[in-house]
Amino acid sequence: MALFSSSKYPSTDKYEAQQQQLISDFERFSNYKNADELHRINELKELINSNDFTSKVEKLKKDRFKNTSEFKKESDYLSKKKSAKFKTYFKYLKAGLPERVKQIASSDKLTELTELIEYVASDEFATTRQEKGFKKTDAYKKLQQFKRLKKDSDIKFYNKQIKSPRYNNYIKLHDSDELNSYLELEKEVTSEAFLKFKSYMNDKKKYHKSEEFGNIQEYNKLLKSSDYLWFIKTDKSNQFDELNNWTLCFDDSFDTAQLNKNKWITGYYWGKALLNKTYVLENEKQFFIDDNIELNGSGIQLNTKATKTKGLVWDSQRGFMPKDFDYSSAIISSGQSHRQRYGKFEAKIKVEHCHPVSHAFWMVGEKVSPQIDIFRFGDKKANKLNVGIQTLNGQKAIKNTKTVKGAKFNNDYFIYSLEWTKEKLCWFINGVKVHEQTSNIPNTPMYLVFSSHITQEINDLKTAANMKIKWVRCYNKTN
């Protein structure tokens, strides 16, 4: 970010809305990365771009039935079916002639005729036929039966068939390997599976009916998904780099009716943690009391009031000393719950301007020095505040701070931020960098403090002197 040079900061509401939108978009982006839709898109992308898929698509577009081995089988079948021998065979078979020939061949009359033919051709019959009284013999009777059988219609049909070319063609093909091969081929090419395959291969729209086409259509449709288009556009941007740089490690939205005592103590750490006492420093004109801390479920308010109270002052020479105070204020600290070296620290704060009351969001470690002022507001003018580091040289305070202007800081909430690395410290107001320091960088863990002070003599508080905090967040740098 560029160093602050404008006379105005971005609107806090607008800046925070942008930040919230960025977080919302980041959640949406992260959720979509694990969404079923994106998983399906990537799955289809890998599938469609594979060599196997591409080959299948090309095959679907180009392949026809005539280019298949099934077509060759069908052509072979039709050629054989049209051949004279197969046409003659099935026509002869269909007429029932082979069955009739078979029946006659196994009949008694053909058996008798066969025996008679053999008999009338024998020497015995020839001799008997030359003898007198032949017509009265059994031989003559057999000759007459022979003549009758030769004229029998079945015998004449049988003799005609077995001498015919059609019957010889039938005998040659029947039960032959050639016929069996033909019948097997006919069974295959007339099967439901074969006809279904042929119909599919001849379908000019088979590619558009295929699973592959459906996958491509689904993929192209998903690519037009509003969520996917948003995801791709967002993925190409660097808008989440800042979010990815930080991991939330401590926060409070002060959305309860009571202060979370697991996170905050209400006094200087050294008094509360070590002695269970609240005290102020010898230059402070106010005392910290818990009654000046208000929570309404949507933020916390630290009040400074004209209130007579008693408390302890730390005197560098005499230690803790009792004192009467005319004014009271409040302080909260994460000294017992959260300390951090390096990171990002920010809070949304609104301050009331009532000089010489000073409001501060600051950090300090185990020792009183160094101290980082994320902001300190207490100038005579409401359009000034200070940021920077305070250190000690012996007992002398050394301030390495900068006065920041640009807005009446009491008019609205502002988001005050500090980014602390090993190399530098950067201060921001509503995302605008207002100061940077690259020397004397603290390297010890520090905790957060929000407090209001009076360090000058004062006659009266003429206006309210409150500091309101909506939320506070601390982040670690993401590896």
**pLDDT tens-digit profile of 81-119?**
999 999 999 999 999 999 999 999 999 999 999 999 999
Residues recorded for the chain:
479
The residues, any chain, with a CB within 8 Å of residue 413's CB and separated by 6 or more, are 12, 348, 349, 350, 468, 470
pLDDT in tens, 398-409: 889 999 999 999
Give me the percent of the chain exceeding a pLDDT of 70. Answer: 98
The count of other CB atoms within 10 Å of the CB of residue 92 is: 20
* pLDDT average, residue stretch 376-381: 91
CB-CB contact of 243 with 28 (8 Å): no
Q: Which of 156, 161, 165, 160 is nearest to 97 (CA)?
A: 161
CB-CB contact of 364 with 442 (8 Å): no
| 471 pLDDT above the threshold of 90 | yes
H/E stretch holding 463: none
pLDDT computed for residue 473 by the predictor: 97
What interhelical angle do 165-173 and 97-105 show, nearest 10? Answer: 90
| 1 pLDDT above the threshold of 50 | no
What interhelical angle do 153-162 and 138-150 show, nearest 10? Answer: 60
pLDDT in tens, 40-53: 999 999 999 999 99
pLDDT in tens, 30-81: 999 999 999 999 999 999 999 999 999 999 999 999 999 999 999 999 999 9
* pLDDT average, residue stretch 140-160: 93
pLDDT computed for residue 7 by the predictor: 45
Query: What are the chain's domains?
Result: 68-202 (no CATH), 249-477 (2.60.120.200)
pLDDT computed for residue 388 by the predictor: 96
pLDDT in tens, 303-344: 999 999 999 999 888 889 999 999 999 999 999 999 999 999
- The identity of residue 33, as a single letter, is K
The residues, any chain, with a CB within 8 Å of residue 237's CB and separated by 6 or more, are none
pTM for the model stands at: 0.70
DSSP one-letter string for 216-256: HHHHHHHHT-HHHHHHHHHHHS-TTHHHHTEEEEEEE---S
Strands 309-315 and 279-281, by their bridges, are parallel
pLDDT computed for residue 460 by the predictor: 81
| 4 pLDDT above the threshold of 60 | no
| The token pair that represents 343 in the structure block | 């990171």
pLDDT band at 268 (very low <50, low <70, confident <90, very high): very high
Give CA–CA dist 160/180, Å, rounded. Answer: 28
H/E stretch holding 309: strand 309-315
Q: Which of 105, 136, 137, 133 is nearest to 119 (CA)?
A: 137
Question: If you search the block for the tokens 């020479």, which residue do you land on?
Answer: 317
Please name every residue paired with 252 in a beta bridge, in sequence order, or none if there are none: 472
pLDDT computed for residue 5 by the predictor: 39
CA dist list (Å): 236 to 23, 34, 230, 232: 17, 18, 10, 6
| The token pair that represents 241 in the structure block | 């780099």
What interhelical angle do 226-236 and 36-48 show, nearest 10? Answer: 80
In the chain, helix, strand, coil percent, each to 5?
Answer: 40, 25, 30
Question: Would you call 38 helix, strand, or coil by DSSP?
Answer: helix
Question: If you search the block for the tokens 């008999």, which residue do you land on?
Answer: 119
Averaged pLDDT score across all residues of the chain = 93
